Amino acid sequence: MSKALTEQELHNLAMNHVGKDLEQQGFEFIAVNSKLKKHPQFVCIDKKNQYYFVIVRVVILPDNPNNYDVVWMESFKKHAEEKNAKVLYAGVGLGNLNGKHLPIYLNEEYLLEYNGIQVIETNLN
């Protein structure tokens, strides 16, 4: 019998996808935090030594992974601005191939919706 992934395991799976994307884009990792609800998940720098705080959010499909809590993001943007960092958001949607109400299982194929990393303007609204 297959084991359904926990919330933490789903989060880690999403972080793996985003981490590979960041590597391919040439970012260097300064810190990684995989604990649920601890932000940012990645602190990276680019070739110009610009710091980036990367927020990874996993949702279960059919929820839209590109949506985020705008009010919460405003407070996070303030934190990033104080640290002279830019904010990147990566929403990841995961789902079971056999139905949206079924869990995602360990070592089984799954649906993935990942539209890449969004730059979040740090200008406060």
**pTM score, whole prediction:** 0.92
- Torsion angles phi and psi, residue 88, rounded to 5: -120, 140
Is residue 35 classed as helix, strand or coil in its secondary structure?
A: coil
What pLDDT, in 10s, does the model give residues 15-54? 999 999 999 999 999 999 999 989 999 999 999 999 999 9
CATH 3.40.1350.10 for the 7-115 domain, yes or no: yes
Residue 93 contacts residue 64 (beta carbons within 8 Å): yes
Q: Where are the domains of the chain?
A: 7-115
Cα separation, 65 vs 115, in Å, equals 9
Question: pLDDT digits over 15-24, tens only?
Answer: 999 999 999 9
Contacts of 68 (CB under 8 A, 6+ apart): 55, 57, 89, 91
105 in Cβ contact with 3 (< 8 Å)? yes
Which of the pair, 124 or 13, is modelled with greater confidence? 13
